[in-house]
Amino acid sequence: MGAQNVVAYSACGGPSVSRAINRVRLHVRSRPVYLPIILVNGQMKSGFRRRLLSLVYSILRVRILNALIRVPLKPLLPVLPKSIGDKFPVSGNVHLALPGLKPLVFKTDGRDSIASRIYWRGFHGHEPETLLLYLQLLKRSNVVVDVGAGTGIFTLIAGAESKDRQVYSFEPVPEIFDSLRENIDANGLENVTAVQGCATNYLGEITLYVDDSLALPFTTSILEGYRHASRTIVAPAMTLDAYVEENHIEKLDLLKIDAEGSDVTVLEGATQVLRNQQPIIICEVLYTHTDKPLQDILDQTDYQYFYITDEGLLPRKEIKGDHNYVFRNYLFVPKSKVTSELSGLTIAS
């Protein structure tokens, strides 16, 4: 499926942009022109190198300049390096077309990496195998919780697919939460509740380790050393059990978790929800990081495990992440719901 793309232009100072471009030329004259593309999310060992990259990236995000570069590039995408579609920033309004729905709007200043990939590759720009499954599961889901919502792709789809559905979206990092809220408002989703906080296994406050990259969403984890954190923030800590009880959510149907290595603590704080409401769960599984801990906690429940791939759902007795990180997500389904909820879905042997 393709995506419709609309760019909102704004005025920019010509002289200041020209000066910035000239400064960049001094540093990159002997380098490949795709330097900012292949290094956007890389680790900068040199402070100068990072400052240079930040400057180039900032210039590429200027809306009118951004459009002048990327619009001619888009028709050439099939013959260009894959890194362009993965890394080149897009500034403006990006529209995602979905069957039967009004196109979703992602407002971005060029930092939203998911919106950028959607611009370049449409529906296939972000976990298409999981999004296809998600769309099918939504048809049976009246209440959805999105933990680790980022800038909101799963939240927006859930909210737009049915205005009668209630969606609760959790995101703890202030900059990312602001982008999430902006996208919710841009799509007029009054049925979505955005919660700025961290779903975990206790109530109070929690320290988060943020790996500031040039693009959103930042990699953020409660685990010190999980990635190369450049700063820490303190966020409200809450459990899904407490939130569900306080907000009188009687039947949670679908739970999506992408918590950057702390998915287990999300489930530890949702034991009552798992036991009493038995939601279907889409969860990221990271090879050697979260697969065994997830297995330990879910083996104590009545859930079955399915690995989400582009060939369908693969039944698994053991939860094991993909060491190549091609397909990162699993579907966990209560045994009592396997037949009814998975009917019509492709289950590979």
Neighbour-count burial of 66, counting CB atoms closer than 10 A to its CB (0-12 exposed, 13-18 middle, 19+ buried): buried
Average pLDDT, the chain: 84
Domain encompassing residue 250: 127-341
Contact between 303 and 332 (Cβ < 8 Å): yes
Q: Residues 62, 135: one domain?
A: no
Q: For strands 198-199 and 91-96, give the pairing.
A: unpaired
The answer to whether residue 45 scores a pLDDT higher than 60 is no
Q: What is the pLDDT of residue 87?
A: 83
* DSSP secondary structure letters along 127-145: -HHHHHHHHHHHTT-SEEE
- 129 φ/ψ sector (left φ>0, alpha ψ -120 to 50, else beta): alpha
Helices 174-186 + 153-161 axis angle, to 10: 30
Per the structure block, which two tokens stand in for 213? 């990259």
Average the pLDDT over 108-130 and give the result. Answer: 93
Residue 349 lies in a domain: no
Task: Give all strands of the β-sheet with 303-309 in edge-to-edge order.
Answer: 192-195, 166-170, 143-147, 254-257, 280-284, 329-334, 303-309, 312-316
* SS3 state at 349: coil
Domain boundary pick from 71, 101, 124: 124
* 56 — pLDDT class (breaks 50, 70, 90): confident
Give the sheet arrangement for strand 104-109, strand by strand. Answer: 5-6, 91-96, 104-109
- Ranking 28-42, 179-193, 316-330 by mean pLDDT, the lowest is 28-42
| Percent share of the chain, pLDDT over 70 | 81
In a domain, 88, yes or no: yes
Q: pLDDT tier at 30 (50, 70, 90 boundaries)?
A: very low
CATH code of the domain in which 216 resides: 3.40.50.150
pLDDT for residue 21: 37
Phi, psi dihedrals of residue 277, rounded to the nearest 5°: -110, -20
Assess if residue 347 is contained within a domain. no
CA distance 197 to 259: 12
* Comparison of pLDDT for 22 and 63, the residue scoring more: 63
313 lies in the same domain as 200: yes
Q: Locate all alpha helices (DSSP H) within the chain, ordered by sequence.
A: 14-28, 35-39, 47-61, 63-73, 82-87, 113-121, 128-138, 153-161, 174-186, 240-246, 263-268, 271-276, 291-298, 338-341
76 and 214 fall within a common domain: no
* One domain, residues 131 and 276: yes
Is 298 a member of any domain? yes
Same structural domain, 43 and 59: yes
Q: What are phi and psi of 260, to 5 degrees?
A: 50, 55
Q: What does the pLDDT average to over 117-146?
A: 95
pLDDT digit string, tens, across residues 72-93: 999 998 888 887 877 889 999 9
Of the three residues 90, 124, 158, the one that is the final residue of a domain is 124
The number of folded domains in the chain is 2
Say what the pLDDT of residue 324 is.
87
Average pLDDT for residues 309-332, to the nearest whole number? Answer: 94
Q: How many other CB atoms sit within 10 Å of the CB of residue 16?
A: 10
Residues 27, 176 within the same domain = no
Instruction: Identify whether residues 145 and 241 lie together within a single domain.
Output: yes
Looking at residue 349, its pLDDT comes to 60
Each residue of 151-176: pLDDT tens digit? 999 999 999 999 999 999 999 999 99
Measured distance CA(333)–CA(253) in Å, rounded = 11
Q: Which of 98, 124, 150 is the last residue of a domain?
A: 124
CB 235 within 8 A of CB 196: yes
Q: Which residue has the higher pLDDT, 56 or 108?
A: 108
Residues 54 and 77 in one domain: yes
H/E segment holding residue 284? strand 280-284
* Within-domain flag for 295: yes
Same domain, 139 and 176: yes
β-pair type (166-170, 192-195): parallel
Q: Is the pTM of this model over 0.95?
A: no
